[in-house]
Amino acid sequence: MSGALQTLKQFYWSQRDHFANWRRRNRPGELRRMLALRTHAWRHPIVELEGVKLYRGSGLSMAVLEAFESQAYETPESRIVRHALQPGDSVLELGSGLGFLASMCARQIGSENVHTFEANPALEPVIRRNFRLNQVAPHLVIALLGDDEGSITFYVMKNFWSSSTIKRHPKARPILVPMRRFNDELARLRPSFLIIDIEGGERDFIRYARLDGIRKICIELHPHVIGQESVAAVEAFFISHGFHEDLAVSDPEHKLYLRQPDPSAIAPAHPAR
């Protein structure tokens, strides 16, 4: 009997906490605010951030709409890209999201020089719509870049930016997505600029990734997903490969790493005759 009573108590307190959280999220003032934000997004479905147009009509979570409204969507990453991207660069992006950074890069260096990979197939129509809005056409592949060819389980969250190969929440929905070998794509595309936002996948990335030809890296780190020890290992990985952090535009979770070209890879000029 005591075991059953204890189970009943645990159930009561868990449901009580759940109900309290539900009430906080659904206060009349909060409901009015969310309704106003949804209505505004419906009436004005196109938002412009850093000169890039994004569609916000339907299907996006409240957190994403709030980031749009406050002009805070991917602000650190766009700051780094604007600072570091130059003519002559070729971009490889891991994690397209809504296509914001890929569109920004394509507008600056041309669509033919931007290659972006997104694991979540539900985002493909949104990304392509955003590309059309900005009159760009980066090379988009719906696949995850990893250590092998085949498929991998990917956990989809309501807030798309929290989706990951790491199961971060009991309600995350597992789907099977295609996987391509990162090192093969690196050799094929030969990018100079690598953009990484893979929601904790950076912990595994450093186990297999080569960085041949890469001179610039923009990465979002996720200590709340992988822990500070793994973040430190990621940072050490880039330093060990000859990169240094550009402190002018980096912050604790968004880094720009730079590496000078290998002098041995530059053919010596022939003396004039």
User: Over pLDDT 70: what percentage of the chain?
Assistant: 85
Q: Which strands, in side-by-side order, build the sheet including 144-146?
A: 144-146, 173-181, 150-156
Write the Ramachandran bin of 172: left for phi over 0, alpha for psi from -120 to 50, otherwise beta: beta
The CA-CA-CA angle for residues 129, 67, 203, to 5°, reads 85
Sign of CA dihedral 55, 59, 63, 69: positive
Domains of the chain, residue spans: 74-260
Residue 270 predicted with pLDDT over 50: no
Residue 265's pLDDT band, with cuts at 50, 70 and 90, is very low
Report d(CA 43, CA 38) in Å as an integer.
9
Residue 41 predicted with pLDDT over 90: no
CATH code of 74-260, in short, is 3.40.50.150
pLDDT in tens, 228-253: 999 999 999 999 999 999 999 999 99
Main-chain phi, psi angles of 244, to 5 degrees? -130, 150
AA letter at 72: A
Contact 151, 175 (CB under 8 A): no
Whole-structure pTM value = 0.83
pLDDT in tens, 150-182: 999 999 887 777 788 888 788 889 999 999 999
Residue 272 predicted with pLDDT over 60: no
Residue 16 predicted with pLDDT over 80: no
Contact 194, 218 (CB under 8 A): yes
